Amino acid sequence: MRRTAFFLSDGTGITAETLGNSLLTQFEGVQIERVTIPYVDNPDKAELAVARINTAAERDGAPPLVFDTIVKQDIRNKIMASRAVFFDVFDTFLKPLEQQLGISSSYTSGKCHSINEFSTYHRRIESVNFALDNDDGGRQQDYGKADIILIGVSRCGKTPTCLYMALQFGIRAANYPLTQEDLDRPGLPDILLRHRHKLYGLTIDPFQLASIRHERRNNSRYASLDQCEWEVDEVERRFREFGITSINTTHFSIEEIATRIMDDVGLVRGVA
C-alpha cells in the first residue's frame, strides 16, 4: 500500500511534521511518502499545494493524508477543497484547551518556532556554541561551566548527543574521548576527576563501533574489532570503578540517548 502524507503550515511546518510523523510511525507495512510544504500563507501558495495534493491522489489512487497547522481560514478553505483526508492539529487540540482555560487562542502562526523570548533563544545558541567549543576534550578550562560532561570511546555518539541537548534543551554539554593514551593509564584523567559529579558515560557494542570506525578509517587498527573490544572493556571497567552512570548507545537514537541522560541525571531544561 502506498499513501502520501502532506505536512502543511503557514509557518515552518515543524509542528505538523513532528506530530504527523509521530502518528505515522505507529503504522507498519504502509509505504508513505512524506511531503512538507511550509509557509502556505497566501491564496497562490494554497492553490499550488492543492495541485500537489490532487496529483498525489491521482497517482496513489487514494486520498493523501494532510496534517496542517494553517491558521487563516481563507487559506484553509482553499486547502480543504483538495482530494485529501485532513488532520487539523489546531482544531483538534485548541478548541478543548479554550474550553478548559476559559479564554480564546490567539491563533497566531509560527509562535512555537519563532524568537518569542530573546533570552531563551540566546540560551540555545550559547549552549550550541559551548558544545562545539568543548567537543572532543576542547577547552577543558570551561568544564566548570558545563551542565554535564559525556565520556566514552571515540565514535560512540558523544558529539551528536551534546549538540542535540544543546539545541533542543539549552544544556551546556561537553564531551571527552577516552583515548588509547588515557586507557593505557589507570583511573581517569585528572581533569575528569575534578568534575567527577558531572560525568556521564556512553558505551557501545564493539561490533557496531568497528563498523562505524571502518567508515572513517577503513582497515586501520583504530577500526579493528580487537581494538574496539579492548577499548569498550576498558571504558566500562572505569565506569564501574568510579560509579559513573552510563548508557549503551547501540540501539538508541540520539533523541532517546539525550532524554535518558537528562532523566538519569535530573538535568533541568534550559529552554522550553
The response to whether 112 counts as a known ligand-binding position is no
Q: C-alpha 272: how far from its chain's center?
A: 14
Whole-angstrom Cα distance, residue 86 to residue 94? 16
Helices vs. strands in the chain: H and E counts, helices first? 11, 8
The response to whether 158 counts as a known ligand-binding position is yes
The response to whether 154 counts as a known ligand-binding position is yes
Which stretches within 142-196 are classed as H helix? 158-169, 180-183, 190-193
Smallest CA-to-CA distance from 80 within 50, 57, 59 is with: 50
The response to whether 245 counts as a known ligand-binding position is no
Whole-angstrom Cα distance, residue 252 to residue 237? 22
Q: Largest alpha-carbon pair distance within the chain?
A: 70
Joined together, the cell numbers standing for residue 76 give: 484553509
Joined together, the cell numbers standing for residue 84 give: 485529501
- Residue pair 58/27 in contact (Cβ under 8 Å)? The answer is no
- Residue pair 217/210 in contact (Cβ under 8 Å)? The answer is no
Q: CA end-to-end span of the chain, whole Å?
A: 38
The response to whether 106 counts as a known ligand-binding position is no
The response to whether 240 counts as a known ligand-binding position is no
- Residue pair 181/137 in contact (Cβ under 8 Å)? The answer is no
Which stretches within the chain are classed as H helix? 14-24, 43-60, 73-80, 89-101, 118-133, 158-169, 180-183, 190-193, 206-216, 225-241, 254-265
Question: How many CB atoms neighbour CB 53 within 10 A?
Answer: 24
The response to whether 232 counts as a known ligand-binding position is no
The response to whether 152 counts as a known ligand-binding position is yes
Binding site residue list for ADP: 152-159
Binding site residue list: 152-159
